[in-house]
Structure 1
Amino acid sequence: MSWVDVLFEPFQFEFMLRAYGATVLAAVVCALLSCWLVLIGWSLMGDAVSHAVLPGVVLAYFFGAPFAIGALVFGLLAVALIGLIRDTSRVKEDAAIGIVFTTLFALGLVLVSVIPSQTDLGHIIFGNILGVSDADLLQIAILAVIAMAVLLIKRRDLTLYAFDPAHAFAIGLRPRLLGALLLGVLALTSVVALQVIGVVLVVAMLIIPGATAYLLTDRFGRMLWIAPLLGALAAVVGITLSYYLDAASGALVVLTQGAIFAVVYLFSPTQGVVPRLVSRVRRPVSAAR
């Protein structure tokens, strides 16, 4: 068997093809959204929503409803509760986020432990990439397309909101409505990703690609291309490594994203640590001459 046969061996199995498809879809939509989350500074909000959907998923399984509906309801509930606590008390937003997402996540863990189910609900916590069915893949594809369509159609308004909410309001846009729309897409995107890598690691896919792209370019339009490409690359590499190493698929996808970020952080031409250190060393030498 040649090295080419070994390299393409995972693509011979249907369950691996479904895993590649689901993970790439989830990675692309998460990476696209992560550009706005990084720009606005909503990393904690992404963490909150991605964890808060757990009880909704468990309850949806219990009542026989599509888990996407339960997750979306609890994602929006988490956003509403965070806003309520922030606006009606002295508690600041970061504390409100911590209170809401930890409480709802704990509620989800309790429900997982007490609700009988023929489905292993632990997969929602840690992901089940290799167990994705055709129906799951179809659901992920539909939700991903909806989320990406909303982001791309409203990208100009959302970008203006991210850079300057006051200017957005001055030209007739409604910043609160745009913020609510972005949070709704965040809840929907969390639903897309949680089945692939689980609730625990969703936040990584929602932050790392955007942060990596942010170090590679100063133009937001380019970020919207770079982040999804990096997310898709990490998805393919991570799933392939999990096949050969017989290791956790979701964790390897996130680990690959982290490795890409580390390389960019160190060697990015304009923002990398190493190029900046080299330029600082060269300046005194040039001045001495």
Structure 2
Amino acid sequence: MDANILMQALSFDFVQNALFAGVLISIAAGIIGSLVVVNRLTFLAGGIAHSSYGGIGLAIFLGIPILFGATLFAVLTAVFIAFITQYNKTRIDSIIGMMWALGMAVGIIFVDLTPGYNVDLMSYLFGSIIAVSNEDILYMLVLDCLVILLVTIFYKEILAVSYDSEFAKLRGISVRFFYTLILILAALCVVAAIRVVGLILVIALLTIPTYLAEFFASRLSTMMIISSLFALFFTISGLLISYFYDISSGASIIIVGVVTLFIVKVIKR
């Protein structure tokens, strides 16, 4: 890539916003992705991600900020899933599948009912990091601060719940509370990442960096840091590829992640 072309690209505000968004979402994805993978919540996070489309459709229908609608829907879904899975673990897959489909269906119906809507829904399905707004960046910044603050304060409790919930319960730690907290943080991270990679690909951004980090880390805190660095590498590389070759940024980011995972696995073997 020509250095002059790269410097010219960096002079554009939308490219600067995209880079800033990439850094911010990588931090959240690395930390929350580690918790999602360690607690084996990937499928649950996927259900939350697709359910949030209902909030996007509702926001478009009511004319309210899309981020607000998606966040509200995602958090409510996370709380509902946490409640259900705590009391009825025999049908978790069926419940998540139902919420997955219901959220998508509700979103589609609300969009269909909205007269003359002109929102680019593809950017929410597959991501468009170049189109992030100042509002999106502020959301990601607040999310990063919240995630870092909560994980720092409750690190020992989260660690105990993630690796041995029975031991944590015996130590008097509220497993239900921290389980719900992890799902709510995952929901917020999903909403933030939708603008970057889209809700279809958001789970890949949460899981691939952590899968890679597991090769190099034996502690949860180290895994979070390495995972964030991998996520940052994926987002920046994918952004540059999408800019220079005029292809989808979300897909580019995930392809870089998958290729990196494949290379690391081959080298490790």
Is the Cα–Cα contact under 8 Å of residues 28 and 143 in structure 2 kept in the other structure? no
What secondary structure sits across from 2:198 in the alignment? helix
> Map of 1:73-222 to 2, 5 A cutoff?
73-82=72-81, 91-116=90-115, 117-222=117-222
TM-score, with length taken from structure 2: 0.90
TM-score, with length taken from structure 1: 0.85
1:241/1:84 Cα in 2 relative to 1: closer, same or farther (>3 Å)?
same
What secondary structure sits across from 1:230 in the alignment? helix
Which residue of structure 2 aligns with residue 72 of structure 1? 71
Instruction: Measure, in 1, the Cα distance between the counterparts of 2:64 and 2:110.
Output: 16
User: Gapped runs of 5+ residues in structure 2?
Assistant: none
Is the Cα–Cα contact under 8 Å of residues 239 and 249 in structure 1 kept in the other structure? yes
Number of equivalent positions: 268
Does residue 1:21 correspond to 2:49, yes or no? no
One-letter amino acid of the structure 2 residue matched with residue 20 of structure 1: L
One-letter amino acid of the structure 2 residue matched with residue 55 of structure 1: G
Instruction: Measure, in 2, the Cα distance between the counterparts of 1:176 and 1:87.
Output: 7
**Alpha-carbon offset, residue 87 of structure 1:** 6.5
Which residue of structure 2 aligns with residue 41 of structure 1? 40
Is the Cα–Cα contact under 8 Å of residues 79 and 183 in structure 1 kept in the other structure? yes
Instruction: Measure, in 1, the Cα distance between the counterparts of 2:36 and 2:63.
Output: 33
Judge which range, 127-136 or 83-92, deviates more.
83-92
User: Gapped runs of 5+ residues in structure 1?
Assistant: 274-289
1:80/1:256 Cα in 2 relative to 1: closer, same or farther (>3 Å)?
same
Which residue of structure 1 aligns with residue 29 of structure 2? 30
**Alpha-carbon offset, residue 83 of structure 1:** 5.0
Is the Cα–Cα contact under 8 Å of residues 147 and 189 in structure 1 kept in the other structure? no
What secondary structure sits across from 2:29 in the alignment? helix
Instruction: Measure, in 1, the Cα distance between the counterparts of 2:105 and 2:223.
Output: 35
One-letter amino acid of the structure 1 residue matched with residue 8 of structure 2: E
**Alpha-carbon offset, residue 111 of structure 1:** 2.3
**Alpha-carbon offset, residue 33 of structure 1:** 0.7
**Alpha-carbon offset, residue 101 of structure 1:** 1.1
Is the Cα–Cα contact under 8 Å of residues 112 and 122 in structure 1 kept in the other structure? no
1:172-214 C-alpha deviation (Å, 9 max, x unpaired): 2100000011111011111111122211111111111111101
One-letter amino acid of the structure 2 residue matched with residue 13 of structure 1: F
Instruction: Measure, in 2, the Cα distance between the counterparts of 1:89 and 1:154.
Output: 27
Is the Cα–Cα contact under 8 Å of residues 31 and 227 in structure 1 kept in the other structure? yes
Does residue 1:57 correspond to 2:56, yes or no? yes
1:163/1:104 Cα in 2 relative to 1: closer, same or farther (>3 Å)?
same
Is the Cα–Cα contact under 8 Å of residues 216 and 264 in structure 1 kept in the other structure? no
One-letter amino acid of the structure 2 residue matched with residue 65 of structure 1: I
Which structure: larger Rg?
1
1:28/1:119 Cα in 2 relative to 1: closer, same or farther (>3 Å)?
same
**Alpha-carbon offset, residue 85 of structure 1:** 5.4
Instruction: Measure, in 2, the Cα distance between the counterparts of 1:198 and 1:55.
Output: 14
Instruction: Measure, in 1, the Cα distance between the counterparts of 2:89 and 2:221.
Output: 38
Is the Cα–Cα contact under 8 Å of residues 71 and 191 in structure 2 kept in the other structure? yes
Instruction: Measure, in 2, the Cα distance between the counterparts of 1:64 and 1:82.
Output: 27
1:253/1:94 Cα in 2 relative to 1: closer, same or farther (>3 Å)?
same
Instruction: Measure, in 1, the Cα distance between the counterparts of 2:135 and 2:194.
Output: 15
Instruction: Measure, in 2, the Cα distance between the counterparts of 1:62 and 1:194.
Output: 19
Is the Cα–Cα contact under 8 Å of residues 22 and 137 in structure 1 kept in the other structure? yes
Share of identical aligned residues, percent?
26
Q: What is the alpha-carbon root mean square deviation over aligned residues?
A: 2.2
**Alpha-carbon offset, residue 14 of structure 1:** 1.2
Judge which range, 75-84 or 139-148, deviates more.
75-84
Which residue of structure 1 aligns with residue 240 of structure 2? 240
One-letter amino acid of the structure 2 residue matched with residue 186 of structure 1: A
What secondary structure sits across from 1:199 in the alignment? coil
Is the Cα–Cα contact under 8 Å of residues 82 and 183 in structure 2 kept in the other structure? no
One-letter amino acid of the structure 1 residue matched with residue 36 of structure 2: L
Is the Cα–Cα contact under 8 Å of residues 112 and 121 in structure 1 kept in the other structure? no
Instruction: Measure, in 2, the Cα distance between the counterparts of 1:135 and 1:85.
Output: 33
